[in-house]
Structure 1
């Protein structure tokens, strides 16, 4: 990361100063996954408990030049059993979050969302990307680009609330939330505009709390004050949005990848709505992205431990 990514590096520094938070690292049996867990430990952000096949972990560490000194290992025969043992660590109070290693996302998340996992809450789980976009002053939270494919209104309500709660949990204050669509007016043929208007009314009536919402807003109006002025839009959110809520997963995924690969944004990701934070890192994530995700996970785990949960 560079100086352009200051909103994320600031969170990494903050998490490091506060000290490590215990996390169950599920099946970190590749050099990439194991290295990420050990790097987070070196920065005093996470205290990883490595849940996986001991022999494979030791072999991976030896081949990658990584040291397992000081790392606790919980032996598990396969990825599915590693997920179960990681969840047991949560219920035993020995870990405050989960992070995905080198197992398939489906295997990981199926264990988390299972009805008998004990991790489900009244909220729908959703994914949030935290993005530091060069030239934009604030950290941007974008959701949902990874879990909920075509969310209905009540799912969107949870997506919005989860993102707002994360913004508060990171110590960033009351967020400005843009409900994205293609236009700024209600169009009965564009479901996203109807949902955006409904979500704003839900916020007015206290069904969504902690944020300032506006929508529908097109992307240019949401993030560019000049565009908002040109279109004559008077809004507390327009031009200065800190949370971007996509109408569906396709739009959200395209949004995040465009900001990352064309605008040079640095990103981190987290799943919210469970009893503990869940970190979903990708094999494509570099070391800094994994470190940023760890920092966000550690900070939000502290927030939940302090009693700030839905």
Structure 2
């Protein structure tokens, strides 16, 4: 039996680059039998039948989720890596990459299995509807139509404001340049390209992008590019920094330089904003990129930075879980002692703006059932918005496990400097890159409203 529901489409004009639609279905034996019939019974195996079934799942995603009613699939090109087994839940994800003539949208497509493994990927061209439609549909109970797209809400929250002037540091690869140009085309940033002009123009040629609308600030090499980008911040010409094709250490070295850098009274730290398909809300993970083994006082600043970000993205009183391997204080595990101390600091008003609890293990930080099983009574346990890792290693592994096994996206930003810093990776999807820019733009706007001008200089 199926259940009635209403779905509303996204018109061509409404669709934003980086927007995502998802649809999941359990692979049943009859699915493969029907697909085998469609391919003429060429094989008793799952592989040929799976390719037909997957194409249908993607077409259903376009029709049910994005763009929705009125969508017309023109073409699909898929690369099949492995076939699922009967009973597996397959999730189709489509991401808007390009808008072309005649209302056609080019989508990046991927299909993941129950454990997050990549089954197939590719692209599709879909003609999006020009008119708004809302229809009642009969959705089989084993199909899940997901509207979980926190990143779209983040990007939409930036609409209506001017693009943020952003120094792109050493964008000398096609991937780095595309990240900046995509964000500019989405109306998020106004890039200033800082680096060797010849290399930047070569990267633009490889990426097929026109740089005539962008200012280039010449720099001989990556170190000079980082220094010049920081100077653009200090002179008030840009609101954001964005990493190009240089090592993070090079950029951060210029940022933290004592005499010429961008340090404030806050410790600089990194926050991932994770969009996890199986989780109902964004998860903020910190610190997974900057502070290797932070001290107690450094962790306090790491938490303050994450709380500030949570406020900006609409979480009024974020629940902060300070992670360890266990949920009880144990002198043999220093992270549990620091967690207890941080909670007491919050009790005394030294850390404000959120609810803190710890130590908490990961399971009882994000699962109410796991917390109840352990008998943990807490406003944070099972409902955490922010996960504070004990070390960089732990935070980095946690974020990457959610990404590669859980199908999560990880937008990242560095906070605590005089301006937000966008760190993107070559492996990031367009959606993730745009979300990283959106978070940074929202942080910059909030800082300007709170205290116009540059942040405070570091205290002695």
Q: TM exceeds 0.5?
A: yes
Separation in structure 1 between the aligned mates of residue 171 and residue 159 of structure 2, nearest angstrom: 22
Corresponding residue SS for 1:24:
strand
Higher relative contact order (CA 8 A, sep 6+): 1
Match of 1:66 among 209, 216, 241: 209
Report the alpha carbon displacement of residue 184 of structure 1 after superposing the two structures with TM. Answer: 1.2
Report the alpha carbon displacement of residue 209 of structure 1 after superposing the two structures with TM. Answer: 0.8
**In the TM superposition, what whole-angstrom CA distance separates every residue of 1:57-102 from its partner, at most 9, and x where no partner exists?**
1222122211113111111111111111111111221101101000
Separation in structure 2 between the aligned mates of residue 283 and residue 114 of structure 1, nearest angstrom: 27
> Mean alpha-carbon deviation: is it higher for 300-309 or for 89-98?
300-309
The answer on whether the counterparts of 1:16 and 1:43 sit within 8 Å (CA) in structure 2 is no
Separation in structure 2 between the aligned mates of residue 291 and residue 193 of structure 1, nearest angstrom: 36
Matched, 1:215 2:358: yes
The answer for the alignment partner of 1:242 in structure 2 is 385
Match of 1:109 among 216, 237, 252: 252
TM alignment of 1:163-242, pairs within 5 A = 163-242=306-385
Separation in structure 1 between the aligned mates of residue 256 and residue 350 of structure 2, nearest angstrom: 24
Corresponding residue SS for 1:267:
strand
Match of 1:92 among 235, 244, 247: 235
Separation in structure 1 between the aligned mates of residue 207 and residue 268 of structure 2, nearest angstrom: 34
The answer for the alignment partner of 1:147 in structure 2 is 290
Q: Relative to 1, partners in 2 of residues 1:198 and 1:41: Cα closer, same or farther, differing over 3 Å?
A: same
The answer on whether the counterparts of 1:24 and 1:99 sit within 8 Å (CA) in structure 2 is yes
Match of 2:198 among 49, 52, 55: 55
Considering fraction of residues, name the structure with more strand: 2
Report the alpha carbon displacement of residue 111 of structure 1 after superposing the two structures with TM. Answer: 0.7
Separation in structure 2 between the aligned mates of residue 143 and residue 22 of structure 1, nearest angstrom: 26
The answer on whether the counterparts of 2:290 and 2:392 sit within 8 Å (CA) in structure 1 is yes
The answer on whether the counterparts of 1:140 and 1:243 sit within 8 Å (CA) in structure 2 is yes
Corresponding residue SS for 1:270:
strand
Corresponding residue SS for 1:51:
strand
The answer on whether the counterparts of 1:8 and 1:131 sit within 8 Å (CA) in structure 2 is no
Question: Normalising to structure 1: TM-score of the pair?
Answer: 0.96
Separation in structure 2 between the aligned mates of residue 51 and residue 161 of structure 1, nearest angstrom: 31
**In the TM superposition, what whole-angstrom CA distance separates every residue of 1:136-175 from its partner, at most 9, and x where no partner exists?**
1111110011111111111111111111111112233220
Separation in structure 1 between the aligned mates of residue 377 and residue 206 of structure 2, nearest angstrom: 58
Report the alpha carbon displacement of residue 210 of structure 1 after superposing the two structures with TM. Answer: 0.5
The answer on whether the counterparts of 2:151 and 2:431 sit within 8 Å (CA) in structure 1 is no
TM alignment of 1:15-34, pairs within 5 A = 15-34=158-177
The answer on whether the counterparts of 2:163 and 2:188 sit within 8 Å (CA) in structure 1 is yes
Separation in structure 1 between the aligned mates of residue 161 and residue 281 of structure 2, nearest angstrom: 22
Question: Normalising to structure 2: TM-score of the pair?
Answer: 0.65
The runs of 5 or more residues in structure 2 that have no matched partner are 1-19, 23-145
Separation in structure 2 between the aligned mates of residue 229 and residue 42 of structure 1, nearest angstrom: 47
RMSD between aligned residues? 1.4
Matched, 1:9 2:152: yes
Separation in structure 2 between the aligned mates of residue 121 and residue 261 of structure 1, nearest angstrom: 34
The answer for the alignment partner of 2:267 in structure 1 is 124
Corresponding residue SS for 2:450:
coil
Separation in structure 1 between the aligned mates of residue 449 and residue 291 of structure 2, nearest angstrom: 28
Considering fraction of residues, name the structure with more helix: 1
**In the TM superposition, what whole-angstrom CA distance separates every residue of 1:88-133 from its partner, at most 9, and x where no partner exists?**
1112211011010001111111111111224101111111111011
The runs of 5 or more residues in structure 1 that have no matched partner are none
Matched, 1:41 2:175: no
TM alignment of 1:251-270, pairs within 5 A = 251-270=394-413
Corresponding residue SS for 1:142:
strand
Match of 1:80 among 223, 236, 240: 223
**In the TM superposition, what whole-angstrom CA distance separates every residue of 1:11-65 from its partner, at most 9, and x where no partner exists?**
0122244341111001111100101100000000011111111222122212221
Corresponding residue SS for 1:306:
helix
